[in-house]
Structure 1
Amino acid sequence: MCGIFGYVGIRDDAPQLVLAGLKKLEYRGYDSWGIAAKDNGRVQIEKRVGKIGDAVTTLRPSHVGLGHTRWATHGGVTDANAHPHVDCTGRLAIIHNGIIQNFRELHHDLTARDHTFRSDTDTEVVAHLVEEELENAADGPQRLVLALMAAFRRLTGLNAVAALDVASGHLAAAKSGSPLTLGWTEGGALLASDYSALLEHTREMTFLDEHQAALLTPDGIEVYDVTTGQAITPIVNVVAWKAEAADLAGFPDFMTKEIHEQPDVLRRIAREGVADAEALAHLIEAASETHLVGCGTAAHAALAGQYLLARVAGRRAFFANGSEFGYLERFLGPGALAIALSQSGETIDILDSMRTAKARGVELAALVNVEGSSLYRLADHAILLGAGPERCVLATKSFTAKLGILLLTAHALIGQTAVAQALLERAASEIEALLGDWRRDFIRQIAERIYRQEHLYMIGRGPSYPQALEAALKVKEVSYVHAEGFAGGELKHGVIALIEPGTPCLVLAPDDETRDDVISGAMEVKARGGHIIGVSPRPDPAFDDHIPVADVGEASGLVQAVPGQLLGYYLALLRGHDPDKPRNLAKSVTVK
């Protein structure tokens, strides 16, 4: 969940280059940040608590640098706990993403051998382990990576580690579970925890696989198997994304930009997604059972997919949260299909459950946004969302991309992809209109009236139920307002007790068979003083505020998602919060 960036090469502005890379990775963690660089044979360190923002580095010019943005797991948010960490000799700087499960035992042993610790983190044990291994390693150009691999083999848990050695001026890294990407350039090499941070410099990249390590020097990159210590031939990929896709492009923040990119994402899926949808449909047809699995926003997309497959194609699919799916392993076996949904492709709960499923013979398909990610490589059949880089911590356009592909797949099962393409085009046009007309300002006005409220409820039925869950997640993530989504039929089973005069309730009431029941529930809330915000093609006396959205048939969920995104966004601004970097959250959840 932390951000890692490193450079070694002929350029002497490594500290500035690393800081710029960290700014692109800040969504992965922003409790603190730090940079290490070589300076006249010693390591120079700069680290601070808080977001990077417009920070500049005071480090002297150097040809090698290593940086980190932290999402705290072990140890509080302090300067001492910020990365990088150094060894006793001052030769090494270490950064880390993950959780070292056996760090207490390692810490105890290292302390007994007179190592001095300056922080409360688990990371610092790595600095001292590599220090010891370097003392025992034979001289040679591979000395750093051999020492790092030896230390890495002593760690338990899922981790990514990178080291800077001022003696050699080299970088080394190793991974198990947490992602690391290597960038190839003329006269240098790069390292990052997310390849979007490398796009400014190169599109030629190597994605480290499990239990692999790398040595980065000005002359290039060497890759090793951590278990055996043997060198292996690196695979160099040319990625499709371009650097400008990860820029703000004139928008005030990435959340706004990515909300506005949704129409183009849906149109691209309509134009180019048929082959992928038909391939996924064939897998579903051949499977004895189908499971849709995701975490957070991806879980809501998976649940929406369950409704789409049932309603459009008459196909049964089972939904599970990624963190819970592994507990169902005794019911999994050959013939089953698991469809994993993930923006980053690095969510640890998804990866763990999918590895469990694969080990039991389950066919694995993935809807994933990041080419070359761990899930992309793990899947038997990977389908790229094609949403482009998503820099805001909150998922918006990747959510609609998943729904778009699942809608197309459901129609492919009945041979009607042209119908789905038309629905996607209509949904794209309606979202575009909503974002450009009076409705966007009206949602802002609603936010102005309710932003002091501490509780907000979202209600939907049938295919609108996942949208209610997703709207609530968007609001709570970005504005810190307590928001909960409920199935409309559950109101009388406890939720109604939470309604007080003035309590805002967002009610999703599409023109389908759920409308009358949803409106009936809204009236029950209204009778107890609730303030009803209707998201619906038609007005109704139950609505205190009405946000009109078009009826787009089975694609209506795509349009329903946008008012919730905008409401969360405006609530965040009114409450003084950064929509791109909400507290305590990170874009990729790579630790348990």
Structure 2
Amino acid sequence: MCGIVGIIGRAPVSDRLVSGLKRLEYRGYDSAGIAVINDDTVHRRRARGKIANLEACLNDDPIDGHSGIAHTRWATHGAPTETNAHPHHAGRVALVHNGIIENYADIREALPPRNYESDTDTEVAAHLIDEALKNGQSPREAFAAALAQFRGAYALGVLIKGADDEIFCARHGSPLAIGLGDGEMYLGSDAMALAPLTSRLIYLEEGDWAILKRDGVEIFDKTNAPVDRPVTDVKGVDEVANKGEYAHFMLKEIYEQPETLARTLSHYLDLSEMRVDMPDGLDFSEIDRVIIVACGTAFIAGMVAKYMFEQIAAIPVDIDIASEFRYRDPVLSPKSLMIVVSQSGETADTLAALRYAKQHGLTTAALVNVMTSTMAREADIAMPIKAGPEIGVASTKAFTSQTCALAALAVGAAFQTGRIDDNAAATHCRDLASLPQRVTEALSSDTIIAKTAKGLVTARSAFFLGRGAMVPIALEGALKLKEISYIHAEGYAAGELKHGPIALIEDGTPVIVIAPDDALYEKTVSNLQEVAARGARVILFTDPKGAAAAKSLSDDIVVLPEATPLTAPIVQAIGQQLLAYYTAVELGTDVDQPRNLAKSVTVE
């Protein structure tokens, strides 16, 4: 979701603002713009589409100054046009905004009549601050007064003419970080935007607002009381923003998975003792049910975990889509544990579910990739996945690390509750420890998968089938394909095939069957034969034993390494990631920044 960069510097800032925006491209956007203050005047440039269009605009009509804000917009209120692009300008005020001002219509109605250039909620916020300035309030008073009227989610960066040496900012529901420099201060949606400028960050807490000056920052809480927030030293982010030898960030991140899984495992397993290192405060012997809440690919990781917790630990698991969870008035037990799963730790719906659970007395745990995120700070227990920054919008390494961490927790839970003994726990830990090697072997199938992908480029629809823990992997395979190739795809439990979906199978329809040789293999093969008899093009993802048994039943067979029920979902997920990637490459789509999608969804 939208990106913010701000600099109050000792030198001109335009080039650095644009550079910061480029580092936020992974978040998804459809327009971009900057505003600077120079000679007591606010100057602004905006462009629809890619940042290259903004650069062309700046080359034709340059602006610069020592204070500036910049923004990449992902359209919510209003179409993705130049007039709807940020920064928005009203009188003395230029403003960038992530989120949604839910009561913008009421604010607009209460303001004196004004000329509005856009269809956005954000422009109303700029006019509200400017109206307070016209009524004699100081910039500080006007900004604080406006914040008191906003209802919704926002991260704001504001320039005010007459306060040329200050940048005003605030967060409520959307993340925002302040960077500390030498005689300069910075503002960013995340550490990625500020990595070349500083590694010393202050993460604003919910309801905080601040005034950046060249020599420091004043921070206030939601009651307008001055507060201090800790400085975090964030290292290693800058190196991640480079694709290196890879054509796309997504491919780079697919190939990083042996390393990222090893990092995940090193956090959750004691490899010398072959046991699970459970997070402090997490005791499953006191828990009667696990509720996993997430969105998108993280939700699918939770679906895999449901199989693991119930089969290994015999702990019942509910898995809920975050955007629906709190609206159905769920029946909650104080002995239940809620685990929210989110790569960014800022997903709006998932964060709202976490807060709902806390209000109802549940123990909460957040499984996130960003340990400075809001979820990590607000949950009772914060659990990292250790995948490192993920730039590609379509999640790959975060998904496998989430699934791996949840698998380790399931083993730990089984041991804590007495479901398994030391020997069984050690066996599962050795199995998990083998994952980096199994995934390395799976990646060696990339050539055959790339060849298989060529046959998908003319498809209008594709269907993915699996049974047991392969059902979520079928859903994930379908999600990945439609996310980045724009081919309509659906995932199904193979046993549901005859309950409707088989009516859509016709000659040449691609059906991807995910069926390693497990207890359900023969049943899945029966479904494979049903679609083959109706002319489907069957692509089987399996293991060596499964391939030998189904040699004559499939048009294409991709053989991935043998794995146990605990590790097979992750191994098979690698094949689905590569299939989606190579199909998208064949179609020439924007793999890392697929249309209409954002990396982190920070509004409902």
Deviations 1:525-582 (A, max 9, x none): 1111111111101311222110001121010111100111111111212222110101
What is the rounded CA distance, in whole Å, between the counterparts of 1:341 and 1:83 in structure 2? 31
For residue 27 of structure 1, what is the aligned residue in structure 2? 26
| Pairs within 5 Å for 1:63-142 | 63-87=66-90, 89=91, 91-110=92-111, 113-136=112-135
1:190 to 186, 190, 210: 186
What residue identity is the alignment partner of 1:374? T
SS in 2 for 1:123: helix
Residues 255-274 of structure 1: matches in 2 within 5 Å?
255-274=250-269
Amino acid at match of 1:168: A
**Structure 2 Cα separation of the partners of residues 145 and 284 of structure 1:** 49
Q: Which residue of 2 aligns with 1:50?
A: 49
Determine which of 471, 484, 496 is the counterpart of 1:490: 496
Following the alignment from structure 2 to structure 1, what is the Cα–Cα distance between the partners of residues 280 and 242? 32
Q: How does 1:241-260 map to 2 (within 5 A)?
A: 241-260=236-255
Q: Does 1:208 align with 2:208?
A: no
CA distance in structure 2 between the partners assigned to 1:407 and 1:60 by the alignment: 53
Does the CA-based 8 Å contact 1:271-1:421 persist in structure 2?
A: no
| 2:568 is equivalent to residue 556 of structure 1 | yes
Residue identity in the other structure for 1:298: A
1:145·1:214 contact (CA, 8 Å) conserved in 2?
no
C-alpha deviation, 1:53, in angstroms: 4.5
Instruction: Give deviations 1:466-513, integer Å, cap 9, x for gaps.
Output: 111111100011111001110111001111111111111110111211
Letter matched to residue 568 of structure 1: A
What amino acid is the match of 1:429?
A: Q
Partner AA of 2:517 in structure 1 = D
Matched, 1:545 2:556: yes
How many angstroms apart in 1 are the aligned matches of 2:251 and 2:440?
Answer: 13
8 Å CA contact retained: 1:146, 1:229? no
Listed one character per residue, the Cα deviations across residues 228-248 of structure 1 (whole Å, up to 9, x for unaligned) are 222111222223543212322
Cα distance per residue 1:385-440 (max 9 Å; x no partner): 110000111110000001111121222233455434432343322322332x3x21
Could you list the per-position Cα deviations for residues 263-309 of structure 1 after superposition, in whole angstroms to 9, with x for gaps in the alignment?
10111222232278523794332212211111100000001001011
1:355 aligns with 2:367: no
Alignment of 1:175-186 (within 5 A): 175-186=171-182
Matched, 1:480 2:481: no
Q: Please say if 1:423 is aligned against 2:424.
A: no
Instruction: Kindly indicate whether residue 293 of structure 2 is the aligned counterpart of residue 293 of structure 1.
Output: yes
Residues in 2 aligned to 1:269 and 1:417: alpha-carbon distance in whole angstroms: 18
Residues 191-210 of structure 1 deviation map (CA, whole Å, 9 limit, x = unaligned) = 11122222222222111111
2: CA distance, partners of 1:23 / 1:168: 28
Shift of 1:163: 0.3
Q: How does 1:429-440 map to 2 (within 5 A)?
A: 429-435=437-443, 437=444, 439-440=445-446
Is the contact made by 1:270 and 1:421 (CA closer than 8 Å) also made in structure 2? Answer: no
- Counterpart secondary structure, 1:206: strand
CA distance in structure 2 between the aligned counterparts of 1:425 and 1:126, rounded to whole angstroms: 52
CA distance in 1, matches of 2:356, 2:425: 33
Q: Show the counterpart of 1:457.
A: 463
Q: Structure 2: how far apart are the matches of 1:125 and 1:544?
A: 58
Aligned partners of 1:43 and 1:214: how far apart in 2? Answer: 20
User: Corresponding residue for 1:409?
Assistant: 409
**What secondary structure is seen at the aligned counterpart in 2 of 1:116?**
coil
Contact 1:265 1:401 (8 Å CA) reproduced: yes
Question: Equivalents in 2 of 1:371, 1:243: separation in Å?
Answer: 17
Q: 2:330 & 2:535 partners in 1: Cα distance?
A: 48
Q: C-alpha distance in 2, partners of 1:293/1:280? A: 21
Q: Could you tell me whether the CA contact under 8 Å between 1:277 and 1:406 is conserved in 2? A: no
The answer for the alignment partner of 1:17 in structure 2 is: 16
Q: Distance in 1 between matches of 2:523 and 2:390?
A: 36
Question: 1:23·1:53 contact (CA, 8 Å) conserved in 2?
Answer: no
Residue identity (%): 39
* Alpha-carbon separation, structure 2, partners of 1:451 and 1:359: 49
3-state secondary structure, aligned to 1:502: coil
Residue 77 (structure 1) shift: 1.4
The 5 A counterparts of 1:562-577 are: 562-577=574-589
Tell me which residue corresponds to 1:221.
217
Task: Give yes or no for contact 1:246–1:390 (8 Å, CA) kept in 2.
Answer: no
TM-score normalised to structure 2 length = 0.93
2:32 and 2:54 in contact (8 A); partners too: no
1:61 Cα offset (Å): 3.5
| CA deviations over 1:138-186 (Å, ceiling 9, x no partner) | 5xxxx43432221122122112221012322211111211111111112
TM-fit CA distance, 1:372:
1.1
- TM-aligned CA deviation for residue 54 of structure 1: 8.2
Q: Which residue of 1 aligns with 2:370?
A: 370
| Paired position in structure 2 for 1:536 | 542
Write the distance in 1 (CA, Å) between the matches of 2:476 and 2:4. 30
Q: Secondary structure at the match of 2:72?
A: strand
Q: How far does residue 218 in structure 1 lie from its aligned partner after superposition?
A: 0.4
Note the C-alpha offset of 1:70.
0.6
8 Å CA contact 2:288–2:315 kept in 1: the answer is no
1:102–1:155 contact (8 Å) kept in structure 2: yes
* CA deviation profile, 1:360-405 (whole Å, cap 9, x unmatched): 0011001100121111111110011110000111110000001111
Equivalent position SS for 2:283: helix
Tell me the number of residue pairs that the alignment of Structure 1 and Structure 2 aligns. 580
Distance in 1 separating the partners of 2:33 and 2:9: 20
Matched, 1:60 2:49: no
Q: Which moved more, 1:161-170 or 1:539-548?
A: 161-170
- After superposing on structure 2, the runs of 4+ consecutive aligned residues of structure 1 that deviate more than 6 Å are none
Compute the displacement of 1:132 (Å): 1.8
| Amino acid across the alignment from 1:124 | E
TM-score of the superposition, structure 1-length normalised?
0.94
Moved more, 61-70 or 394-403: 61-70
User: Does the 8 Å CA contact 1:344/1:588 hold for their aligned counterparts?
Assistant: yes
Q: 1:81-122: per-residue Cα shift (whole Å, max 9, x none)?
A: 1100111x3x22111111122212222333xx2422111111
Letter in 2 for 1:587: K
Q: Is the 8 A contact 1:145 1:213 kept in 2?
A: no
Task: Give the Cα–Cα distance (whole angstroms) in 2 for the partners of residues 206 and 333 of structure 1.
Answer: 36
The answer (yes or no) to whether the contact 1:478–1:572 under 8 Å persists in 2 is yes
The question of 1:306 aligning with 2:306 is answered yes
- Work out whether residues 30 and 52 of structure 1, in 8 Å CA contact, stay in contact via their aligned partners in 2: no
Alpha carbons of structure 1 residues 277 and 545: separation in structure 2 relative to 1, 3 Å: farther
Q: Is the 8 A contact 1:281 1:409 kept in 2?
A: no
Shift of 1:72: 0.5
- Structure 2 unaligned blocks of 5 or more: 271-275, 416-421
Rounded Cα–Cα distance in structure 1 between residues aligned with 2:425 and 2:372 = 28
Distance in 2 (alpha carbons) for counterparts of 1:398 and 1:54? 31
Q: Provide the secondary structure at the position in 2 that maps to 1:251.
A: coil
TM-fit CA distance, 1:9: 2.1
Q: Is the 8 A contact 2:282 2:381 kept in 1?
A: no
